[in-house]
Each structure stands twice: as C-alpha cells, then as structure tokens.
C-alpha cells in the first residue's frame, strides 16, 4: 500500500469503525504518557493487518507522543494480560460483528477476573487513583468499593 492508498484507507468506513472502537475501549488519556490532549491519534503499532486490524495493532496516543513515536521509529507492543484479552474481544465485536459497546461488553466480560473487571468499570478515568489504591491494599483481589 503506497502513501496515497494509505491516505484513502484512513477515510474508509472500516478504519472509522476501528477508530471509534478504540476511543470506546480506551476512554482514558494518552496510553503512553497518560496526559490529556486536544488531539488523539489511533496509531498503527503494526501495519501487517491493514484492513483487518486487531486490537494488538493499534494504540491511542496524544499528538506529542504520536509525533515522538513516528520520528524515532519507536516500537510499541501490548502486554497480553487479562485486560488485553478483554479489550481485544471488545474491539473484535465492535469492528467485525457490528456490536455496540454494551453488546461487545457482554461477550468480553468473562475474559477478565471479576475483581479486576469491577475495577475496570469504575471508569478508566479513575484508573490511576485505583492503581495507587491497589498498591496500598493488603488484599488487592478482594476490594469492595
């Protein structure tokens, strides 16, 4: 795919679905620096599956990090943890099965242990303070909030 074809691809309904799904799944700030930004980019960590992207190929970055990553040819990969599998399934359901966020969540929610799942759904915006809380907690598997 040449540069012009790629630019056209970025206008395609499929790519717009990918972008929408990523924003629904990654509601917090930039995935690298955790800072809010006026502008976010859904960046391809891998171009191998253009047109057939999976969650592991994409990341939500602020403008600053996005420029940095391209300028320096930074490789980013995701940790394949329980949240990864949950988000991977969410992405698949939303992009390839026409599910909305709630429907996709029904399919994906079993993939995350219930305590982690509950914390996830307190809201991604609270993720950081929850992580601090978890670090202090004596029994992080059994937090009641």
By CB under 5 A, name the binding residues for Zn ion: 30, 32-33, 43, 62, 65
Shortest spacing between CB 32 and Zn ion, in angstroms:
5
Q: Report how far Cα 71 is from the mean position of its chain's Cα atoms.
A: 22
Shortest distance, position 27 Cβ to Zn ion, whole Å: 15
Nearer to Zn ion, 33 or 122 (CB): 33
Cβ distance to Zn ion smaller for residue 18 or 30: 30
Angle CA(145)–CA(129)–CA(112) in degrees, nearest 5? 60
Nearest to Zn ion of 65, 99 (CB atom): 65
41: left (phi over 0), alpha (psi -120 to 50) or beta: beta
Minimum gap (Å) between residue 30 Cβ and Zn ion: 3
For residue 68, the minimal CB distance to Zn ion (Å) is: 8
Please, which residue, 60 or 93, has the CB nearer to Zn ion?
60
Q: Which among 48, 119, 110 has a CA at the least distance from the CA of 77?
A: 48
Q: Which of 67, 7, 79 is nearest to 33 (CA)?
A: 67
């Amino acid at each position: 795919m040449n540069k012009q074809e790629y630019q056209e691809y970025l206008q395609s309904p499929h790519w717009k679905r990918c972008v929408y799904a990523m924003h629904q799944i990654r509601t917090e700030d930039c995935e690298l620096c955790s800072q809010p930004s006026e502008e976010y980019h859904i960046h391809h960590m891998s171009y191998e599956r253009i047109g057939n992207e999976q969650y592991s190929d994409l990341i939500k970055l602020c403008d600053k990090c996005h420029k940095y990553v391209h300028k320096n040819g930074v490789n980013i990969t995701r940790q394949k943890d329980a949240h990864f599998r949950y988000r991977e399934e969410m992405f698949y359901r939303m992009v390839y099965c026409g599910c909305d966020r709630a429907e996709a969540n029904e399919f994906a929610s079993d993939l995350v242990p219930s305590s982690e799942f509950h914390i996830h759904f307190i809201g991604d915006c609270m993720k950081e303070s929850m992580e601090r809380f978890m670090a202090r907690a004596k029994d992080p598997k059994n937090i009641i909030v």
